[in-house]
């Protein structure tokens, strides 16, 4: 199972762009990279998923280099409500149990006024 490494915590200010990088050196050919956001006492919420290059949706961008050994979640112009834990996971596209997703401790992003 691919293991991910990401910073334990990050600080930012409102309006700034935040980039959280995740390392996954043992990513397999059929693995996708998925990011989740979790607020206290809530279940994680899907943010974005990608396989290679760049993916963008209404809330974030995901940058994946050609070797796919890392990925960077980019949050544009963060607000106080973006304070949460962000998890990077690698695994089969649907989170299939044959290659079940493993959650690490995530990155606690603290956004200051």
List contacts with another protein (CB under 8 A).
Answer: 32, 34, 36, 41-46, 49, 87, 89, 93-98, 100-106
Is residue 87 within 8 A of residue 104, CB to CB? The reply is yes
Name the residue nearer to another protein (CB basis): 75 or 91.
91
Shortest distance (Å) from residue 17 CB to another protein: 24
Name the residue nearer to another protein (CB basis): 33 or 78.
33
Give all strands of the β-sheet with 18-23 in edge-to-edge order: 18-23, 70-75, 61-64, 53-56
Phi and psi torsions of 101, nearest 5°: -70, 135
Shortest distance (Å) from residue 1 CB to another protein: 10
Name the residue nearer to another protein (CB basis): 9 or 13.
9
Shortest distance (Å) from residue 16 CB to another protein: 25
Question: In this structure, what token pair is assigned to residue 108?
Answer: 């606690």
Q: How far is CA 52 from CA 8, 31, 70, in A?
A: 24, 10, 10
Q: What angle do CA 43, 9, 46 make, to 5 degrees?
A: 30
Shortest distance (Å) from residue 13 CB to another protein: 24
Name the residue nearer to another protein (CB basis): 21 or 49.
49
């Amino acid at each position: 199972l691919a293991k991910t490494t990401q910073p334990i915590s990050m600080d930012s200010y409102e309006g700034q762009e935040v980039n959280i990088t995740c390392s996954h050196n043992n990513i397999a050919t059929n693995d996708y990279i998925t990011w989740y956001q979790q607020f206290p006492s809530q279940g994680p919420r899907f943010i974005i998923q990608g396989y290679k290059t760049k993916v963008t949706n209404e809330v974030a961008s995901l940058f994946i280099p050609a070797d796919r050994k890392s990925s960077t979640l980019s949050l544009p112009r963060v607000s106080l409500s973006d304070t949460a834990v962000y998890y990077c996971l690698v695994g089969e596209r649907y989170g299939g149990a044959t290659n079940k997703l493993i959650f690490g401790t995530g990155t606690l992003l603290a956004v200051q006024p």
